[in-house]
Amino acid sequence: MRVAVVLLNLGGPDSLSAVKPYLFNLFYDPAIIRLPNPMRYVTAKTLAATREERAREIFASIGGASPILAATSRQAEALEAELNRTPGDETKVFISMRHWHPFAAEAVKGVKEYEPDEIILLPLYPQFSTTTTGSSLTDWADAAAKQGLRCITKRLCCYFGEGEFIDTHAQLAWKAYKEARATGKDRKPRILFSAHGLPESFVLDGDPYRFQSEETVKAVVKRLEEISVVPEAVLRPDGKEEIPETLLPRETFDYAICYQSRVGIMKWLLPSIDDELKRAAADKVPVVVVPVSFVSEHSETLAELDIKYKDMAKALGLPGYTRVPALSLEKGFIKALTGLVEYMKRLPKKICSYEGVRSCPDEFIGCPNR
């Protein structure tokens, strides 16, 4: 069987000249600016024009372009290699970006030429939102219909609690936490799990993003507690050493989830990372920042977390600021993606979460897995 795996991601400008059209595409997305046309068109043109200069400054600060396509391409190569490591199905991995090249129409063309027996749409957004995964799935369906791509298509809506994904986050966070604590004098670091922001009204309308982000954080903290065990060997009567479970102290973590990348005057999810940095400064504790909703490095990690908020932490006088890397090409994360693809191949359902069933409470009507 020939399988086409399509990685869905946001996309980003590949040059400074692409910033303005990229912004227009972003704000013209009906999942983001929920206005009818022509109001949405006019709003998108206005926002792209007014925010171009600042956005160009941001991308200039990280090399003049978004690194997201290059990062996603490396993930695609690693995933394809893993999926084809053992004899069986032939798998090819494609990339479909939502707001810049390669657009869904370009990816559909490539998939159609590949002539697969089955297509698996795999988002690089671990937590589902109508603004990200939802928008990308709709975009793919529209492009596939226009080009007459008829093939069994399975869609993964989320994997916010998948085991390897959680463990990889926890392992990276634990390494950074230990290093921060070693240099943090007598104050334990506070872990700030930073997720991309979302207008609060979207959540009130049934978007499950906040719920899933909070569930990811709970799972990572639980895994952190498990791997933070400090062995303390004791001598048994027969002279051998053992480490009884009752003697395994666990680290207790001071942590918070917060949100970044707020734009506009709407009320966004709280607390913001700005607020949490100010609270940490007041408490005189160092922070370890974990980008919990980003699986590769791009402007939100490189420009915001590594520059803007690092400078803010310094100005506030925080005793330490450590940023945990994105998952990128970590073996555990590629293993997670590989397992998700294999799982989807076995399932008869056309859309499901990493658990094979609906993972959201009923009140989240934005969840597509009904």
* Cα 75 to Cα 6: distance, rounded to the nearest angstrom: 12
Asked whether residue 224 carries a pLDDT value surpassing 50, the answer given is: yes
> Is 216 within 8 Å of 126 (Cβ atoms)?
yes
Q: Count how many residues are written for the chain.
A: 370
The structure tokens listed for 264 are 């506009």
pLDDT at 86: 84
Least confident of 80-89, 202-211, 336-345: 80-89
pLDDT at 370: 78
* Cα 15 to Cα 67: distance, rounded to the nearest angstrom: 10
Asked whether residue 247 carries a pLDDT value surpassing 50, the answer given is: no
Mean per-residue pLDDT, 350-361: 93
The structure tokens listed for 152 are 């069994």
- Residue 98 CA to its chain's centroid (Å): 15
Asked whether residue 206 carries a pLDDT value surpassing 70, the answer given is: yes
- Residue 85 CA to its chain's centroid (Å): 26
The full DSSP string for 5-71 is EEEEE----SSGGGHHHHHHHHHH-TTTS---TTHHHHHHHHHHHHHHHHHHHHHHHTTSS--HHHH
CATH of domain 163-323: 3.40.50.1400
Q: What angle do CA 263, 320, 282 make, to 5 degrees?
A: 70
CATH of domain 2-160+329-352: 3.40.50.1400
Asked whether residue 232 carries a pLDDT value surpassing 70, the answer given is: no
Q: What angle do CA 205, 209, 211 make, to 5 degrees?
A: 95
Domain 163-323 in the same topology as domain 2-160+329-352 = yes
pTM, full prediction? 0.93
Q: Give SS3 for 317.
A: coil
Residue spans of the domains in the chain: they are: 2-160+329-352, 163-323
Mean per-residue pLDDT, 49-60: 97
Count of H helices and E strands in the chain?
Answer: 12, 11
> Is 82 within 8 Å of 4 (Cβ atoms)?
no
Mean per-residue pLDDT, 119-132: 98
pLDDT at 183: 77
Mean pLDDT of the chain: 93
